[in-house]
Structure 1
C-alpha cells in the first residue's frame, strides 16, 4: 500500500522569488513539478508531490511561492506560503548566493525558529545544490520524533480483535478508511487475529468465539449500538479515538468535551474535517453530529462546517470546535489547529470523543488506555 500523505515526512522549500526553489524541487523529484523561469513570481501557489527519497523513505516535497512577493495578489501568495508551515516537518531555505541573505530571508528564518521547525539554509550557486539538500534533509530527519503505532501497547500476539466497519451510504466505495487500514496492518504485523464485521453481525460473532476478544474497535457512527450489544467486560473503543491518541491530542479532546454539554442558545460550533469529500445522505459531520449536539444540549446552536485546508485561524466567534480524527492531515497540522483553538480559549474535541460522550460511553471507551494517552 502506498503511504498516505498524512503519514509521510513533509519537506517544504522556501525562499524569495528567483532564489532557485523550483529548480531544487524539480531536481529532488527528478521531474518537472514546477515551471522554472527567470521571471519573478513564476510559482504562484504551493505545489506538492509525493516520492520515495532514499534512504529516508516516503516524503512529500512542496515548492512554494516567494515570501517576498508584492501587491495584493502577492500578499495572498505569501499567506499561502506561510500556511504550508503548519504541515512542514523539514524546511529548506534557499538563498541566492549572489544576492546574499536579505531582510525577508532573515524574517522567515526567525519564523522557522519560532515554530520549532527543523531547517537548513542552503545558498544557491551555479552548480546543483541537490546533493547538499538531500544531505541536510537526512541530517534534519534525525531530529524528528518517532511516531508511535496506532495500537501502541493495546494488543499482543494471538489476541482476537473485532473491527466493526459499517458499510453504508457514507462509506467510501471500494476501500476502507485510513484508520481501519492502519489498524488492520498493525494487527497483521503483531500476529494478532482480526475479525472484520458490520454492526448487525456483532452479537452473532461474539457468540461463535471460544475466547473473549481482547478488544472491539468500532466506527464512531455506530458507537452506541455496538456498546449496547457488547458486554461490559469486553474492552471497547473507536477508530476515531485511536486516531486522536495517535495524533497526540486525545487528552485535550477529553478535557474539552465537558464544555460542549454546557453550550447555550445562540452559541456557534465549528464542525471541521481535514479532508474534502462530497457530502452524502447521513453524513457524520453535517447530519449526525449536529443531531447529537441538539439532543445533548437541548439548545438552538449555530452550526458551521469547514473541510480540507479551509480551517479558520480566527475562532473567536465559536464556543467549541469538533474536529474529525484528522487521518488525512499531518499530526503537525492537526496540533496546529488544536493550538489555534486553545490560544483563543475554544474547546477542541474530535468526532469519536464527542459521540462517545453524547452516548454516555466515554468512560468505557477510554478505559483501555489506563490514563496512558
Structure 2
C-alpha cells in the first residue's frame, strides 16, 4: 500500500534484472530486497509479468527493482513466450541501471543472448552490471568466468551467490557507482526558482474532476515539495481566486505555475513581470526530450497558421496518457485537447487515446503524438517513447506545450534552461 510518505515509483531509480529463465533473477532480487517477493522455482518461466519492488538503498535512496521474465522464453502455447519477452522489453525501456545475469558456466552459444542484451543497454547509454548470480555453482567460485565476461562485455562484472548471500553488498556498491550523473540533480523548476533566495511563487491549481476529492494531483504535490525545499515563498489558489491572490501580494510573484487548462485565464491576468509556466510544461523539461517536445509544439503552431489561412488538412493525432483511469466528462486528454485541436486545425483531425503502458509499436499511422506530463513514468521510459517517435519521423509534444501552442502563447511560457540544476 502506498502512503503519502512514500516516494512515487516514477521518482525512484529503476534497476532491472535481465537474464535467461532460471538464471537466478528472482533469487537475486529477493536477496537484495531481503524479502521473498518473487516466486522462486526450478521450473523455467516461473516469472511471467515483471515484478516491481520499491526499497531504500543506503547512499542511493529510493529505488525500485524489476524482476523480469527470461528473455529466452520459447513457450509456444497461445504465444505466451513472445508475450512475456515483450513485457521484458518494456521493462528494459524504463530501466535506469541494468543487471544482466550470466550462467555460472559458459554455454555452447557463448553467451550470445546475454551479450546482445548488454550491447542493447550500452547502445541506449544505460549503465550495465554483469552478474554471475549462482557463482557458488561455478568452478573456483566464478573467478575465471568473471574475467571472461568482463572482457567480453567491457562492463563491471561481479560473481555473487543469492543463496549464501555472498557478494550482495558489492552489488549495492556497484549500483551506487553506476548512478547516472544527473540522478538526484533533476529539478522540476530548475533555475526558474533560486535556492534559498525566497522567490515568491504562485500556484494556480483548479480542483476539478482531474483531482480526486481531498487530494492534490501528483505534479502539484511534487512541485510544491521542491519549492518548499528551495525555501521559496509559496502561495496557492484556484483559478476563480486568482484576482484575490494577486491583490493580496505586496509584489508580483516571480513565477506563476498553473494547470495547463487555465493557461489562457492566467496569462491574461498575470503581472507583466511575472514568469508563467505550467506543471505539465515543467514535467516535459524534467522527464522528456524537451527540445523534441518544443519542436513538436512549434509544429502545432505552424499547422494552426495553415488552418487559419484556409488550408484543409487530415491529421491523425495520438494522445498518450500515463495514467489508466475511467474516462470522465471534461477529461483533458480525451475531451479538452481533441476539442482544442479541432477548433484550431479543423474537422479533419482524428484522435486516438492510449493509456498506461499501451503505446503503439508502429507510429507511422500518426502525424503527431501528444503525451501527458508523465508523472507516473520515469524519465528513461519517456525518453524511450520520444526516441520511438523520432525514429518514426513523427513530431511529439506534451499536454502543456500543446495547449500553449494552440492558445497562441507558446513563446510566452517559461521553461528551465537547466532542468538538472538549482535543486
TM exceeding 0.5: yes
**Secondary structure of 2:64's aligned partner:** strand
Provide, for residues 301-351 of structure 1, a one-character-per-residue CA deviation record: whole Å limited to 9, x for no partner. 211011111111210000000001111101111111111111111110110
**Distance apart, 1:231 and its partner CA:** 3.3
**In the alignment, does 2:117 pair up with 1:113?**
no
State how 1:1-373 maps to structure 2 within 5 Å.
1-70=5-74, 71=76, 72-98=79-105, 100=107, 102-123=111-132, 124-126=134-136, 127-128=161-162, 129-141=167-179, 145-156=183-194, 157-261=197-301, 262=303, 265-366=313-414, 369=416
TM-score of the superposed pair, with normalisation by structure 2: 0.83
Runs of 4+, deviation exceeding 3 Å: 98-101, 142-147, 263-266
User: CA 1:169 to 1:159, structure 2 compared with 1: closer, same or farther past 3 Å?
Assistant: same
Do the aligned residues in 2 keep the contact of 1:275 with 1:329 (CA within 8 Å)? no
**Secondary structure of 2:29's aligned partner:** helix
Provide, for residues 257-306 of structure 1, a one-character-per-residue CA deviation record: whole Å limited to 9, x for no partner. 23235285432100001221222210000000001001111232211011
**Distance apart, 1:35 and its partner CA:** 0.7
**Distance apart, 1:169 and its partner CA:** 1.8
Do the aligned residues in 2 keep the contact of 1:271 with 1:321 (CA within 8 Å)? yes
**Distance apart, 1:143 and its partner CA:** 5.1
| Structure showing greater Rg | 2
Mean Cα displacement is larger for which, 138-147 or 47-56?
A: 138-147
**Distance apart, 1:102 and its partner CA:** 2.6
C-alpha distance in structure 1 between counterparts of 2:339 and 2:201, whole Å: 30
**Distance apart, 1:135 and its partner CA:** 3.0
**Distance apart, 1:170 and its partner CA:** 2.1
**Distance apart, 1:145 and its partner CA:** 4.5
Do the aligned residues in 2 keep the contact of 1:149 with 1:246 (CA within 8 Å)? yes
Do the aligned residues in 2 keep the contact of 1:170 with 1:281 (CA within 8 Å)? no
**Distance apart, 1:125 and its partner CA:** 2.1
In the alignment, structure 2 segments of 5+ residues that lack a partner are 137-160, 305-311
**Distance apart, 1:142 and its partner CA:** 5.8
Do the aligned residues in 2 keep the contact of 1:241 with 1:250 (CA within 8 Å)? no
How many residue pairs match? The answer is 371
Q: Please, what is the CA RMSD of the aligned residues?
A: 1.9
**Distance apart, 1:175 and its partner CA:** 1.9
**Secondary structure of 2:192's aligned partner:** coil
